[in-house]
Amino acid sequence: MQNGEVGLARYLRRYLPASEKAWFDQWLRIHNHPEKLVKRVKLKGPDRLRKIILTHGIKRLARKNVTTAIRAWNRLQKDNKFPDRLQKQAERAIAMRMLRSRHKDKLKFLDTIQPHATDTQLHEKRLRAALSRQEWKLIEKWTQQLPKHLKSSDEWRYWRARALGELGQIKQAETELQKIIGERSFYGFLAADLLQVEYDLNNQPLQVDSSTMQQLEKNQGLLRSREMYLLNRNTSGRREWRAATRKMNQKQQQGAAILAHKWGLHDRAIIVLADARSWDDLKLRFPLEHRQRVDKRAKEKNLESAWVFAVIRQESAFVKDAHSPAGALGLMQLMPSTARSTARQLKLGVRKKSRILQPDINIRLGTAYLRVVLNELEQNRVLATAAYNAGPGRVRSWLPAKPIPADLWIATVPFDETRGYLKKVLAYTVIYEQRLGQKPARISDSMPPVQRRLRKTASIKRAKQKQVQQKRAKQKQVQKDDYSIWDI
């Protein structure tokens, strides 16, 4: 019953002793009609089992009507002392439904519960709901209630600092920001912007002794992997590399990354460094492969090369034949339909998927599509980056009723994937600016407030396009009528 296998539970009922069938029948009635919990329900059976059935009913009722579930839960708590485990289960079920609703008392209810320390999802969703309404007192309070691993994260330290600042506690806010300004991350960069200090990218090139490097250069698995790549048998090359490196110690993995970079296997260097949990050699982790192609296509579309590199790094980690589960292809992970529609505008033939996978064509199409979404979203890089991942239509649907700071908008993007994608691409852009020999620009300079007027602009644009189409159609009809008269 607890795992939703109701049909199996009904079947197993026949094997219960007669004395135990009655409580199962009660459980099934509550399962089918949880609204009965609003009234006083007398259940026979052991106290522990009775509370399990009641909790099950509340979870079912929350799916149907969250307001009724709250009323029923409040009444049940007056009559019963629920164990902490069951109480948290019921409260979580109600809270998750509340979070999906527009209930006016959503935050009020969420403030009455204390999520379990291991329930990362509920802790974070509750905070994002408070962020969406800019309830700074609740944000400050709830960040204090986070489990240790979340409380010490860059993201929630940043939002605690923002909440303290909004509440006028400037010194405390600065203290929190000081804890993350040295981090090479999206929130570390934002914290540095707020305190007006320079970014510390903490680039530390790896040092591996020559004897280890000599051994690795003779490693048969690594040599086989390299030969496979040279023969364009990339899948086999990746398998050989994985088999050769997975049992290496950290120092050997670091050496393998240096070797991969030397051989031009940049995607293998990135992945083996992640396995080694070695994050500080930026030359290896953020390669400049295909630089001439990227610079050329970025210049053609008036885009920043650092931004294009950041998209490639996040999309494929430089795996040129990357295939996503959704079907996206190549370095810039283009869906075939998007690639073909963009190719038609460029008068470029890409009927075969193998053409989309070619680095030069993929980068040309990817930069062209970046320019399209950037134009559609009024040159706003934050929105264009989100649109590259989730689509322009979804991004427009996420625009707020009133202008809000971009950091708040990013933190409340509904899709976890897009939210993480945004933070990484924006942070990687800063890193790639340095890798390209530029002074990194302030990340907040590319994050103007997010405004709803984009919807109006888009609708006006569509209306104007429709007017032009109607005018042209009318002119064609007039021409057709004139010719008909002339022929007569």
Residues acting as catalytic residues = 315
CA separation for the pair 86, 89 (Å, rounded): 5
Q: What is the Cα Rg of the chain in Å?
A: 29
Q: What is the DSSP letter of 317?
A: T
CA separation for the pair 425, 420 (Å, rounded): 9
Sequence-distant (6+) residues with CB within 8 A of 87 are: 77
Q: What is the DSSP letter of 114?
A: -
Q: Around Cβ 138, how many Cβ atoms within 10 Å?
A: 20
Residue 107's alpha-carbon distances to 36, 118, 143, 399, 405, in angstroms, are 27, 21, 14, 21, 21
Kindly state the tokens that stand for 344. 């038609």
Kindly state the tokens that stand for 44. 């026979």
Q: Are 58 and 68 in contact (CB under 8 A)?
A: no
**Tokens 């990340």 — which residue?**
443
Q: Output phi, psi for 323, to 5 deg.
A: -125, 120
Select from 260, 257, 223 the least CA-distant residue to 240: 223
Q: Around Cβ 189, how many Cβ atoms within 10 Å?
A: 26
Residue 82's alpha-carbon distances to 53, 79, 94, in angstroms, are 12, 10, 16
For CA atoms 45, 47, 52, 53, give the dihedral sign. positive
Kindly state the tokens that stand for 366. 């990817």
